[in-house]
């Protein structure tokens, strides 16, 4: 299983039917793919499609793994340019607990 497939599966399980995000969030891994979390409707849908999002988080898969394992602090990653947020910063902050573990 590819990293993208494994991460997509983990996020799908974490999001469940209703994550409470209430918005559409995209994780953009550049050439490694994308994960679109559509939490605007219930049940929430997680896919690897590209589409419009309220918030886009641009990050490498390696940095996402480091964030999920607690080896990289989200605020430090943001300040160092390892993590970019396009759109609503508040939505991105709600996403962090879903990525842990």
- Residue 7's contacts (CB-CB under 8 Å, 6 or more residues apart) are 35, 61, 64, 65
Identify the pLDDT of residue 101: 57
Q: Tell me the two tokens of residue 42.
A: 């219930």
Are 54 and 88 a contacting pair, CB within 8 Å?
yes
Element containing residue 62 per DSSP (H, E): helix 61-68
Tens of pLDDT, residue by residue, the chain (101 residues): 789 999 999 999 999 999 999 999 999 999 999 999 999 999 999 999 999 999 999 999 999 999 989 999 988 999 999 999 999 989 988 887 887 75
Predicted TM-score (pTM) of this structure? 0.92
Q: How far apart are CA 23 and CA 2, in angstroms?
A: 27
């Amino acid at each position: 299983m590819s990293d993208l497939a494994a991460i997509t599966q983990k996020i799908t399980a974490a999001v469940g039917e209703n994550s409470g995000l209430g918005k559409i969030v995209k994780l953009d891994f550049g050439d490694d793919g994308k994960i679109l979390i559509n939490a605007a409707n219930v049940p929430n849908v997680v896919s690897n499609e590209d589409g419009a999002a309220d918030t886009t988080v641009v990050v490498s898969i390696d940095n996402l793994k480091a964030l999920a394992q607690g080896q990289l602090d989200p605020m430090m990653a943001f300040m160092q340019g390892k993590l970019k947020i396009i759109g609503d910063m508040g939505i991105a902050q709600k996403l962090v607990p879903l990525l842990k573990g």
